[in-house]
Structure 1
Amino acid sequence: MGLRRFQTEDLGIFKEWLKKDHVKKWYTEPDDWIAEVTLRGSSFSWITHFIVEWEERPIGFGQFYKCLDAKEEWYANVPQTGTYSIDYLIGEREFLGKGYGKKTVQLLTEMIFRLSDSKRIVVQPEPENRGSCNALLANGYLFDEANGVYQKEK
């Protein structure tokens, strides 16, 4: 299993994943996600987008970014310098509940922690998204109750 950079030809499968019930439940603004990957070379060049592959088959999506660049409110109380965040999904239903989400989080985490300026990663999945929360916990993230985020220090 691995990550490869998102390419224009991946847009079709990404759109299909966003329509699936197990994805659209958490990715509620599909047009925003589509615009983001479409504009990844310009307006959203500060985000690094990936396709998750298993045996060269696309099965999901992942991305990471510096929190300073995103300027979102949900992590405003976390130190900003050196802080990154991730998003991820498993798009192919037959790969759910088998550890692929956990492995995706692991791969994104390792990639970020290889960056010289990284200090921590914060993530805020919906509390009801137990699969995502469990994938983070399984990778050593701790839930920061004060800020409502999962966090892992380098």
Structure 2
Amino acid sequence: MHVSYAVQAGDFSNAGNVSSTVKGLLKQLNIDPAHTKRIIVALYEAEVNVVAHSFGGEITCEIEPDIVHITVSDRGPGIPNLELAMTEGWSTATPEVREMGFGAGMGLSNIRKNADKLRIDTGADRPTSIFMQFFLDREAAHA
């Protein structure tokens, strides 16, 4: 199954809608709740990052029997120092974003903790793409 969703920059009232929709799909497909939780935590964090830090973007999910592939791509402005951005608690969120309860600096580290495979393509003044894989068969993850 392949699905794609647009994510609007600054649209905090709808932040998390894509994650909720994908959660419903995973439930319908009888994906183990433990896998679903990992997938949705990572997806939610990536979705909120697009809303809070980019000029908008797109999320695509490819759900296969043994693996879920998720790509989150935005239209910039990029992450100048990815290593620093992966540090728990580090954030460039504006005070307004923090007042809404977002921007705690846990997004990228939570994605890293929950994805079985993760690749982030980014840099200053260019779009960011996050590629995540989640193995639904834990033995396949170690093969």
For the aligned pair, the TM-score class normalised by the smaller chain equals 0.3 to 0.5
Q: Which protein has the bigger strand share?
A: 1
TM-score, normalising length: structure 2? 0.32
Q: Which has the higher contact order (CA 8 A, sep 6+)?
A: 2
